[in-house]
Structure formats: structure tokens, C-alpha cells
Structure 1
Amino acid sequence: MHWRADDGRDLHGWLGGDPDGPLVAVLHGCPDTRHVAMTGDGAAREVGVRLLCVNRPGYGDSTVHASSHGSVADDLAAVATVLGHERFAVLGMSVGGAYAVACAARHPDRVAALGLVATQPPGARTEEVDLLAAELSAEFLAWRAGVDPFDPDDERLARRWLTMLPEEDAALVAARGAQAVAASVREALACPDGYLRDAALQHRPWQHGPAEVACPVRAWFGEDDDRSPADRVSGLVAGFADLEVTVRPRSTHLATLVAHWPDVLATLRDPVSGPGG
């Protein structure tokens, strides 16, 4: 699906789940896209949630843009308005957590709940985003060449991608089939701008912090996640006023969300559909 930002930019996304349910908006990880939300479609229908994910600038068909955590948050809120949802929950996966925090902070009258899954901590670099992106570019492009997202052979591309993932995550991704896996990889990596903007912003402090979030926050981390280790939880989530943290036993990075969609979505649904939601 496509929507238009106020300044004319194209916003490329996916909408699924229960069309009559309260909205949960997913902020995807990096490199990732709306495809991660597609893995929750069945669970969203099961628990009665409408599920949305909008690709950040540079991913898929979303127009390349000098985005920030705040601008992405505002784009998402604008799409929710177009869809007719005054109140909604946001769910940040991995790098998407910083954008989800920004959305809750900037739209406190609209975001009823904030979910964080395998969220990675903010960075400490202070250079301009464009300078950081330029610094990261050569290494990223070399890595991307090894993935070869332009390979037209779905099976071959999917196999290369799956070998880069932990065994539990790879099994969950592979279950979607080679064509879907290849499509998601191409959408995430064909344009370098999406990844590089995300990576540069991740090296910097978050634009908005936990103290600016007033809504309930529910966070999930995986015991076996090597990207967002559970032992970092206390420092990462310090400052949220209303917080509950769950550590999933024996769960790797992506599995912390994809293997637990019904629980995550039901948890975020209730504050939106309850009184005042």
C-alpha cells in the first residue's frame, strides 16, 4: 500500500490483521521492512488487531528523505489518521524501538501503549547523520554485495540470507517460503539509503527519551539474543514511568517477536480498546 506525506513523499507500507480492530503500528528493524509485520497477520486476526507497518525512507518505495526519529514518528501518526485511527499502539522492533519511543513522546494524546521488542540501546556519537552514513557506507556496501539482493533467483537469495541468521530466527523466516524471503531482502537492501540512515541514527542518542513517554510501556527481550542482550535491559529501559519487562527464555533476536505475536499484540490491544482508548 502507498500513502502520501504532507510534503508529497511516498510512504510505502502494509496493512493487515482485523480491519475492525484497534490499530497497532509496527516500526521495523534494520535492515528490514513492512515484511516483518506480515508475519503477524494471522495472529493479528486471531486477537482482533489491525496491524500496520510503514517502510522508513529508503526502504522499498518509501521516498529517500533526510529523516529523523521524530519525522518517522510523525509520518506514522499521519498514516494512522488517514486510516481513521485517533488512538493506536506502537511497537518498535530492534532499531525500530527508537522510532516507537519518539512516536509515543511526540503524540501522547494518541499513542495508548508502547511496545518494545529486542530494542537496541542508543548510541553516543555526535557527528552529523550524513557524516556517519558516509563513514558506514563502504562496509555496508561490501556486505550487501555478498548478500546480492539483485540476484533474480529467489531460492539462492533466500539461502544466502538464512545462513546469516541464528537457527531459530532462520527457521521462522524460512517458513514464509523462498519467494517471500527474497522479496523482503530485496525491499530492505536494494536502496542503501534506508539502512545507512537507520545505522547512522542508531549511532547517535535517541531524539526522545523514556522520560518523555507517559503511556504504558511493555518490553520483551530474548535470553539468547546476541544483538539486544537481556543483560542490558535495566539501563535501556530506565526512565519509563509505567513499565513491564518480559525476558523470553531461549529466544533469539527475531524470534522474540515472530514466535510470540499473539501475546505481544493482545498486550498492546487492551490499552487501545479499553476505556479512554
Structure 2
Amino acid sequence: MTSADSALSPPTRVWRWDDFVLDVGCYELRRGDTVIRVEPQVFDVLAHLVGNHGRFVSKEELFDTVWGGRFVGEAALTSRIKAVRRALGDDGEAQRYIRTVRGRGYQFVGRLLDDGTAPAPADASELVPEPPRQHIAFTRAADGVRLAYGVSGDGRPLVRAANWMTHLGYDIESPVWRHWVRDMSLRHKFVRYDERGCGLSDWEVGAFTFDDWVTDLESVVEAVGLERFPLLGVSQGGAVAVAYAARHPDRVTRLVLCGAYARGRVVRAMNDDEKRAAALDLDLARVGWGRDDPAFRQVFAAQFLPDGTRADWAAFDQLQRRTTSPENAVRFLEEFAHIDVRDQCGQVRCPTLILHSRDDHRVPMRYGEELAALIPDARLVALSSNNHLLTGAEPAWRVFCDEVETFLAV
């Protein structure tokens, strides 16, 4: 059921040529002091070509890397190449930076000013460790949708139920998710996947329901060949993890939930203000993802990372644009809003650790408390944070990691 495709992520790079800087870690293309705005797939094409400047890159390799092997017409790649050239002030006639290898692929031919290694920060404490090596492969869901999953690290398994806005090929370097992948891979064989409609998994899918997400988790577990394992659920992935654990009590040894909830925004809306807020969430997604204007998407950044730095918000904005389409963003939020796993919570039979930011702006603490009251043998830990998604720099992240490792070591 799986394919043998694999990918190893390179270290974060900063490439320089002429007056251009391509900063893969910050997901930025700059010319002098000016940031050149390009679409996510255009950036990915350029980054892959520059990162492999010593050789030509076949069209098939670009399809696999940028589109995750999804079937797209050659016109899609041609348009991205044109956009890359346009961003660099190049064209198909001059080919100063991007050379066409007729009928086969493309090669970056600009003269790099260094070896591409990101310069060391002045303060050694700011060093970002290299990402762990990961293997990316694909499997099919019960209805035929292709799902991408990644495995990194060694040791006892730890599976993370998919949550919104992930991209296996990008998360390992993204400031939003890289510390999750890095630290969970230190002591575990960490298994994660992109849910349908997101990342490297199929975007154009018919079914898009909560039950599909649960069966997708079942498909990934079967593909990896796991029998018994602890399960991690973050944000809406927590509800998927709860439903899976209730359905498969013989497989889930321990359950870890972070920023999770049993009821979506529509289900838990008790008054007109809460109902209007839930509707506004959908309207912002319809407008924000469909326009090249970060102002709308920053509303989500302010909810998910209220204490994040400007760089954190920029990284979150790129994550939103890169991981899914505007149409799917709305579909995700519509389904999230109607989640209700209160009945499944009572069926969970394994020890459960619930961690929740005390001042979470996206999912208030009271919904973490509700989970703890509904799930038998659950323990709740309040984290000193305002963020829905913990950042790697805040003290609450280290508390989270220590609590999880202590809980899983039993």
C-alpha cells in the first residue's frame, strides 16, 4: 500500500548570488533590502534548483519535490519557472539564472557567492540545530486519497494525529513546527502525516469529514506497521486522537493532548456573540487565503501565536499559504467547528495527559479542563503561555517536553 518515495531534508540554507539572498529558513527571497514576494510553490521550485545548483534537475524530480508527486500538468511547472525568472529579472531568452535543459528539466546557473551555509549567529544560544533526518512515503486512505507520512528519529514509536496546517517537507525547517519534529524525534520514532487536503497529501479530495480524518490515521498506522503506541494530538488533532483511541483501545498505550478540545466552535457557541465569532472565522478564511494580503491571515497568527515575534508571525503566514488552498482552508474550519467527541472521551481507556496553555487565545483553557473531566484517568497540566501553538523559545515548551517524556517513560 505504500510507495518507496523518500526525502532527506538538508540543513537550513542561506544562498547568495549577485544582489539576491534566498533564505530558506526564513522563507524569503530578497534583493538588497527588498523582500520579493513569490507564491509558495514558486519559492519551492527556486529553492530546489538553487540547492541543487551543481546539476540539472529533472521535471519529474520537481513534481515529486514541490507537488509531492501529485498529478499536475506540465503547464503548472512551466508557469512556476516563468514566475521564478520574473522574480529574478530573468526570462526564457536570457536564461541568466535558470537554464532550460530542453525536454528534460532546469538548472540554476547563477554564480553563488558562498557555499550556502547559513552564517552562525553572533550569540551561540541562537543556533538552530540541524533538523533530524526523515523518511517521507505515501499510502492510500480507504477511499483512495493519497496520504503523505513522515518518520524521523529512533526509539519507541510516537504517533501524532494530523492537525491543520502542516507540510512534511517544510515543517522540519519551519519555525512554527521544527522544534516539535526535532524534540519529539530525539527519543522516539516519530510518525506524523499531512491530513487530506493539506501539505504533501492530496488536496483535491471529495470527502472531507471528521470520520475521514480518523480513518486516515488508521491507514497511516497500518502503513507504518505499528501494533501498540502512544498517540499525540495537537489542537483539532486532539479530537481525532480521542476518537481513534476510543475506537482502538488495544492499540493506544497512552494519549497526549495539547491545545485540544472536545467541541468545535459552533457546537460550543452558547450565545450570539460566540456564534458570530465562529462565523467570522470562516469569513476571514474565505478572504484571507484568497488574497495576497497578510493582514487578514495575521488575524489567525494573533490567535495562534499572540506572544510570537514578528518573525514567528511571518513564518505562520507562510505556513498558512503554503500548506493548503483557500477553498480547503474554509472546508477545514467548517468541519472543525462541528467537532463533538464528548461521547468518545468517556470511552478512552488509556492513561491521558492533557497540556493546555493557561491563556490560550484560540482555544481557551476551559475546554482543556472539559477534556480532563470527560476522559477517565486524565491528568491536566496548565502551561504558562498565551500561545495556542507553543514556540520553541518559550519556557512552556521545555515544560511540555519534560511532562511528555516523563509521562511516556512509565
* TMscore range, shorter length: 0.7 to 0.9
For residue 146 of structure 2, the aligned residue among 2, 7, 10 is 10
Cα distance in 2, alignment partners of residues 28 and 210 from structure 1: 18
Q: Within the alignment, does 1:93 sit opposite 2:226 as a pair?
A: no
For 1:162-241, list aligned pairs within 5 A.
164-166=300-302, 169=305, 181=316, 183-206=318-341, 208-241=343-376
Partner of 2:196: 57
Structure 2 runs not aligned, ≥5 long: 1-135, 268-276
Cα distance in 2, alignment partners of residues 245 and 235 from structure 1: 10
Q: Secondary structure at the match of 2:220?
A: helix
Q: Secondary structure at the match of 1:246?
A: strand
Across the aligned residues of Structure 1 and Structure 2, the Cα RMSD in angstroms comes to 3.8
Partner of 1:41: 181
| Native 8 Å contact 1:24 1:89 kept in 2 | yes
Could you tell me which amino acid in structure 2 is paired with residue 43 of structure 1? D
Partner of 2:211: 70
Q: Secondary structure at the match of 1:23?
A: strand
Q: Specify whether residues 145 and 79 from structure 1 end up closer, same or farther in structure 2 by C-alpha distance, changes over 3 A only.
A: closer
Cα distance in 1, alignment partners of residues 194 and 211 from structure 2: 15
Could you tell me which amino acid in structure 2 is paired with residue 216 of structure 1? P
Q: CA deviation at 1:250?
A: 3.7
Cα distance in 2, alignment partners of residues 262 and 79 from structure 1: 29
Which moves more between the two structures, 259-268 or 100-109?
Answer: 259-268
Q: CA deviation at 1:255?
A: 2.1
Could you tell me which amino acid in structure 2 is paired with residue 33 of structure 1? T
Cα distance in 1, alignment partners of residues 305 and 265 from structure 2: 29
Q: Secondary structure at the match of 1:40?
A: helix
Q: CA deviation at 1:213?
A: 0.4
Q: CA deviation at 1:217?
A: 0.9
Q: Secondary structure at the match of 2:346?
A: helix
Which moves more between the two structures, 202-211 or 263-272?
Answer: 263-272
Structure 1 runs not aligned, ≥5 long: 127-135
For residue 23 of structure 1, the aligned residue among 151, 158, 169 is 158
Cα distance in 1, alignment partners of residues 357 and 179 from structure 2: 18
Partner of 1:147: 288
Relative to the length of structure 2, the TM-score reads: 0.52
Q: Specify whether residues 98 and 87 from structure 1 end up closer, same or farther in structure 2 by C-alpha distance, changes over 3 A only.
A: same
Q: Bigger radius of gyration, 1 or 2?
A: 2
Q: Specify whether residues 214 and 258 from structure 1 end up closer, same or farther in structure 2 by C-alpha distance, changes over 3 A only.
A: farther
Which moves more between the two structures, 198-207 or 112-121?
Answer: 198-207
Identity of aligned residues (%): 25
Could you tell me which amino acid in structure 2 is paired with residue 55 of structure 1? D
Partner of 2:95: none
Q: CA deviation at 1:273?
A: 6.5
Q: CA deviation at 1:194?
A: 5.0
Cα distance in 2, alignment partners of residues 95 and 19 from structure 1: 27
| Larger RCO, structure (CA 8 Å, separation 6 or more) | 1
Cα distance in 1, alignment partners of residues 393 and 211 from structure 2: 26
| Native 8 Å contact 1:40 1:258 kept in 2 | no
| Native 8 Å contact 1:10 1:62 kept in 2 | yes
Q: Secondary structure at the match of 1:73?
A: helix
For 1:83-162, list aligned pairs within 5 A.
83-123=224-264, 142-144=283-285, 146-148=287-289, 151=292, 161=297
Q: Secondary structure at the match of 1:89?
A: strand
Is the helix fraction higher in 1 or 2? 1
Q: CA deviation at 1:195?
A: 4.1
Q: CA deviation at 1:105?
A: 0.8
Could you tell me which amino acid in structure 1 is paired with residue 192 of structure 2? C
> After superposition, what is the alpha-carbon deviation per residue over 1:96-152, rounded to whole angstroms, capped at 9, x for unaligned?
2211111111111111111111123414968xxxxxxxxx9x96675246534674x
Q: Specify whether residues 148 and 232 from structure 1 end up closer, same or farther in structure 2 by C-alpha distance, changes over 3 A only.
A: closer
> After superposition, what is the alpha-carbon deviation per residue over 1:74-106, rounded to whole angstroms, capped at 9, x for unaligned?
321321232232222222222222111111111
Q: Specify whether residues 223 and 139 from structure 1 end up closer, same or farther in structure 2 by C-alpha distance, changes over 3 A only.
A: closer
Relative to the length of structure 1, the TM-score reads: 0.72
Q: Secondary structure at the match of 1:184?
A: helix
Could you tell me which amino acid in structure 1 is paired with residue 146 of structure 2? D
Could you tell me which amino acid in structure 2 is paired with residue 85 of structure 1? L
| Native 8 Å contact 1:117 1:221 kept in 2 | yes
Could you tell me which amino acid in structure 1 is paired with residue 227 of structure 2? E
Cα distance in 2, alignment partners of residues 230 and 140 from structure 1: 19
Could you tell me which amino acid in structure 1 is paired with residue 141 of structure 2? A
| Native 8 Å contact 1:87 1:272 kept in 2 | no
Q: Specify whether residues 88 and 195 from structure 1 end up closer, same or farther in structure 2 by C-alpha distance, changes over 3 A only.
A: farther
